[in-house]
Amino acid sequence: MFNEITIIGPGLIGASLGLAIKSNKLCKTIVGIDRSVKNLEDAFRINAIDKRRKIIDGRIQKSSIIFICTPVSTIDKIINEISLYSNKEQVISDVGSVKNIFKKKTLNLNEVKFSLVPGHPIAGTEHSGAINSQRNLFRDKWCILTPLNRNKRSIKMISEIWKNIGMKISIMQPSEHDKIMSMTSHLPHLIAFTIVGTAFNLNIKKKNELINFAAGGFKDFTRIGSSDPKMWTDIFLENKNFLKETLELFLRDIKKFKYFIETNQYDEIFNLLKRTKEIRKSIIKKKI
Ligand code: NAP
């Protein structure tokens, strides 16, 4: 059991982490630091954190572990703020959805001013904020860690926390993570954000009826497309290179599909759909 852990940004992911750490009795005191008074108050009220702070200062030295749970574009800067007070025994981790985000200065400070073990719990919802947090959000899901060196003690500390709250751990290179996520998460979100706009640009008389008939697949896209705009703008820009590559592949396949339809290629279309159905079956079987 740790004496103190700090969670910077106790919103959806940060407060869910706080709840899970507390319900598994992994820490005596959890400090929440956030610029959002609402999230700080909500996280405190639901007992995801024990102390509320608005700024990072010398008091952070008391925490053995600091989890940064803010949008991806803010993480590197926050680590630099922490480094003004931290010592090399302290472990910093994050939950950001892109992992190749650290500047050279931060990488140089690693192991001198702190030990950095970046992470990404593959769990979440389209909602944000501590108010939507769930203590079991991470149960039976995967957490990817992308350690920057082989500091066994720090890697063990972070993996043990996630394991104790029910996650399975996978360790990989940051670039490998970003490439995989560009396909399994970032592209699907990009498509959802686009398709909803495409529908409303359709030249049809009864636009309102579009909503009435949106019960099928379209509604699923609007759910994904309702995810937080700030968080997703950050993700698309921070994972620009891999996302561009994945998008090119997708556009190539979409063009091929269009060609099959234009040229009435029944077998090609049927086999493509059949293959997708089989992939879906194997995903369900793995209980992801
Ligand atoms: P969230 O609910 O919006 O919580 C983020 C919190 O961080 C907000 O209270 C926000 O305040 C605060 N914040 C932003 N910038 C800050 C700063 N510079 N200093 C202190 N606090 C700051 O977001 P979330 O959905 O939990 O996502 C947090 C992180 O988890 C992101 O990096 C995201 O990529 C990652 N992630 C998300 C999911 C998901 O499904 N949501 C899944 C896995 C990983 P304001 O509201 O004032 O901006």
Q: What pLDDT digit, counting tens, does each position of 159-173 carry?
A: 999 999 999 999 999
Which atom of ligand 1 sits closest to the CA of residue 98?
A: 34
Q: What pLDDT score was predicted for residue 233?
A: 97
Which atom of ligand 1 sits closest to the CA of residue 74?
A: 18
Ligand 1 centre to CA of 12 (Å) is 7
Ligand 1 centre to CA of 34 (Å) is 9
List the chain domain ranges: 2-172, 176-286
Please spell the DSSP secondary structure of 236-287, one letter per residue: HHHTHHHHHHHHHHHHHHHHHHHHHHHTT-HHHHHHHHHHHHHHHHHHHHTT
Q: What is the mean pLDDT of residues 192-210?
A: 81
The residues, any chain, with a CB within 8 Å of residue 8's CB and separated by 6 or more, are 14, 32, 33, 34, 56, 66, 67, 68, 69, 70, 78
Q: What pLDDT score was predicted for residue 259?
A: 98
pLDDT band with cut points at 50, 70 and 90 for residue 71: very high
Q: What pLDDT score was predicted for residue 202?
A: 79
Ligand 1 centre to CA of 242 (Å) is 22
CATH of 176-286, one of 3.50.50.60, 2.60.120.10, 1.10.10.10, 1.10.3660.10: 1.10.3660.10
Provide the edge-to-edge strand list for the sheet that holds 119-121.
Answer: 119-121, 142-145, 168-171
Please spell the DSSP secondary structure of 21-74, one letter per residue: HHHTT-EEEEEEE-S-HHHHHHHHHTTS-SEEESS--GGGGG-SEEEE-S-HHH
Candidate from 13, 67, 126, 230 with most ligand 1 atoms within 8 A of CB, to mutate: 13
List the one residue out of 110, 67, 89, 83 whose CA is nearest residue 153: 89
List the one residue out of 132, 232, 156 whose CA is nearest residue 192: 232
The residues, any chain, with a CB within 8 Å of residue 193's CB and separated by 6 or more, are 225, 232
Ligand 1 centre to CA of 74 (Å) is 9
Ligand 1 centre to CA of 71 (Å) is 5
Ligand 1 centre to CA of 86 (Å) is 22
Q: Looking at ligand 1, which residue's alpha carbon is closest to its atom 18? A: 74
pLDDT digits (tens, 9 = 90+) for 120-141: 999 999 999 999 999 999 999 9
Q: Which of 9-13, 52-56, 208-212 has the lowest mean pLDDT?
A: 208-212
Candidate from 12, 68, 72 with most ligand 1 atoms within 8 A of CB, to mutate: 12
Residues with Cβ within 6 A of ligand 1? 8-9, 11-14, 34-36, 39, 69-72, 74, 78, 95-97, 120-121, 124-125, 128-129, 228, 231, 235
Angle formed by the axes of helices 187-201 and 229-238, nearest 10°: 120
pLDDT at residue 229 tops 70: yes
Read off the amino acid at residue 114: F
pLDDT band with cut points at 50, 70 and 90 for residue 1: confident
Give CATH for domain 2-172: 3.40.50.720
